[in-house]
Amino acid sequence: MVTRKGLMGIGMAAILASGLCGCLREKPAEMQERPPAAVQTALAIQTNVPRVLLAFGRIAAAENVDIIPQVTGKLLEAHFKDGARVKAGDKLFTIDPREFKASLEKADATLASDLADLKMKKATLERNARLVEKNLISKEDFEKVQTEADSAEAQVRIDRAAADLARISLEYCTIVAPMNGIAGKRLVDPGNIVRAGETKLVNLRQLDSLYVDFSVSEDQLSLIREAMGRGVLDVEFMPERELNRVRKLAETSGAAGLDSAFRRYEEKGYDAQLVFLDNTVSDATGAIAMRALATERLDELWPGQFVRLGLKVEIRPNAVIVPANAIQSGKNGPYVFVAKPDGTAEYRLVKEAFIWANYIVVESGINPGDRVVTLGQMGLYPGARIFEMPAGQTPDAAGKGAGAAGAAQPAVKTEKTGGGE
């Protein structure tokens, strides 16, 4: 599995690249004597790089239940505090049971009476059965008694059903949690009349497992399905608020800031497992809904949180990468300055593949081992003389020392070029 540093492309590469896109300056037409430009450089590296697709998502409870009464009555009591953790079977509310107790007692009494009547009619039916065998009563009289007994037996079945219904209604006066979860804010206070199937009392969310709901664009679907087919699709995510902290660390000058950001991400990032891919593309958005199952540190997450996700869909072997701040934008496309051994800057157009961490994967224009300019591009032009300043030093500070170095250098004839802007 790719480390979470691969997912740092969520924020870090965009941050580092966004503010560092300089413009290629044209040389002045006349000859000038200029000192070498102070720059910082980094080596282009060849390595195996994961490709990560980025998405926004939101945490969702695995189960989400609205507690609604199943009988109408007066709400007597709530047995929990707002936001409390509850277990399946815990008592949540009590509805006034008196009316339902009375209904049950009435149903039980009716059942008892009709059972006694049935017993008597069955005894009569047995006596009449012996009499009809001896032709002491007519068959018609016997059938009449049998009908009365059958009717009494049917009435008992009706009474039992009514008693069961009354008993269930009485049980519904005590409302219990259907699952483990966390209760939301109570929506109805005791003393109010609540209606069966209508009044929402509280929301209960099951947090023993959590989902991350997100979507990806239609043009990314083939990459995701191919990765799923190869069994290499990994999902990582980080809450948006935590990602902002990582971004701030990444903006800290020097390697220390990046190291701190990477460590923070390793500590605060999450792994997830893809469990759902919708079977249709949304007509409204052109996106495909997806869902991942969060599998760790669930007590740190909460339904409704916004997160940023990364989906690793491939490993690109022997990819050439350069720091994101080495890539500049010009009218002819993205470009870099390469520091040549003779102390001059070479302008090269490049073809970008994708962002990885705080690097750009480059398909063409740069070779492994090339030293690319990462700081100080402003004012550079093809063939400009350069010197490398110490790490952490700014171009302005380095420029003060460059004047003396430049005074000993011969004048450089500058020419106008259409290499960029």
User: pLDDT tens across 20-60, in order?
Assistant: 344 444 455 444 567 899 999 988 988 887 777 888 999 99
Residues 177 and 280 in one domain: no
Q: What is the CATH number of the domain that holds 294?
A: 2.40.30.170
Q: Pick from 140, 172, 207: which residue ends a domain?
A: 207
pLDDT single digits (tens) 392-404: 566 555 555 444 4
Q: What is the CATH number of the domain that holds 108?
A: 2.40.50.100
User: Measuring CA to CA, which residue among 265, 218, 233, 228 is closest to residue 246?
Assistant: 265
Range of the domain at 111: 63-207
pLDDT single digits (tens) 280-328: 888 888 899 999 998 778 777 888 889 988 888 877 888 898 988 999 9
At 88, is the pLDDT very low, low, confident or very high (cuts 50, 70, 90)? very high
CB 322 within 8 A of CB 360: yes
Residues 226 and 131 in one domain: no
Q: Pick from 187, 207, 227: which residue ends a domain?
A: 207
- When divided into structural domains, the chain yields a total of 2
Residues 192 and 326 in one domain: no
- Residue 311 belongs to some domain of the structure: yes
Q: Pick from 207, 235, 256: which residue ends a domain?
A: 207
Residues 103 and 242 in one domain: no
Residues 277 and 175 in one domain: no
Residues 346 and 301 in one domain: yes
- Residue 341 belongs to some domain of the structure: yes
- Residue 310 belongs to some domain of the structure: yes
- Assess whether pLDDT exceeds 90 at residue 132: no
- Assess whether pLDDT exceeds 80 at residue 367: yes
Instruction: Give pLDDT, residue 47.
Output: 83
What is the pTM assigned to this prediction? 0.57
Name 37's bridge partners: 386
Q: Phi, psi (5° rounding) for residue 266?
A: -60, -35
Q: Phi, psi (5° rounding) for residue 242?
A: -70, -35
- Assess whether pLDDT exceeds 80 at residue 130: yes
- Assess whether pLDDT exceeds 50 at residue 215: yes
CB 202 within 8 A of CB 186: yes
